[in-house]
Chain A
């Protein structure tokens, strides 16, 4: 069965510091991968998605970036965090091709607080 991992689970970082969040998927190959952010009291906002290694689509311009160095690894980064980057960061995946309805499955998330 497929499993999605995210780490760290919780992170407290000062303003202006760098960020690296990692997501890995097991039990599948060539998945679509997604990064979302959920701010307090708000809905999930799609940040990036990837349909393959090195292929990144950005949904919202901001000081975050994403990379997919390996098939089942998705990384969210920032060079300098802002207070507004605080939130719950969720990685999601779904299989390519067969899933035309686009159900997505989420990892446990990273709760980021920027002080």
Chain B
């Protein structure tokens, strides 16, 4: 079983739609969790950190369910500029981040 698993997509949604991605992780001792955004042929950029049950930043909401070992990312009112690959990332311990392979989002006009 992979340490971090994501649906690769792509998720094709129209502008203005709400879309949600899920991610599961296998290490129950994981301490913190992140969503990164990666545009094509670019470096990953930190989108959100998830330390407790979840947090919200504008149109983006991240939630953590430790009992079921999954993290979700909800994007409301999707914009064309939200098209990217979203990486689920888990901190499994000292200096160790484990990256999922990403979920691709395509927002169309």
Contact = CB atoms under 8 A, between A and B. Distances in A.
Interface of A: 32, 34, 41-44, 46, 49, 51, 57, 88, 90, 101-109, 111
B91 A101 contact: yes
B46 interface: yes
Interface string B53-87: 00000000000000000000000000000000001
B51 A101 contact: yes
A37 to B, nearest CB: 11
A104 B97 CA distance: 9
> Which secondary structure dominates chain B's binding surface?
strand
Nearest to B102: A43
B96 A46 contact: yes
A106 B44 contact: yes
B43 A108 contact: yes
Contact of B101 (A42, A104, A106): A42
Contacts of B43: 90, 106-109
Interface in B7-44: 31-32, 34, 41-44
A101 B102 CA distance: 21
B83 to A, nearest CB: 18
A51 B95 contact: yes
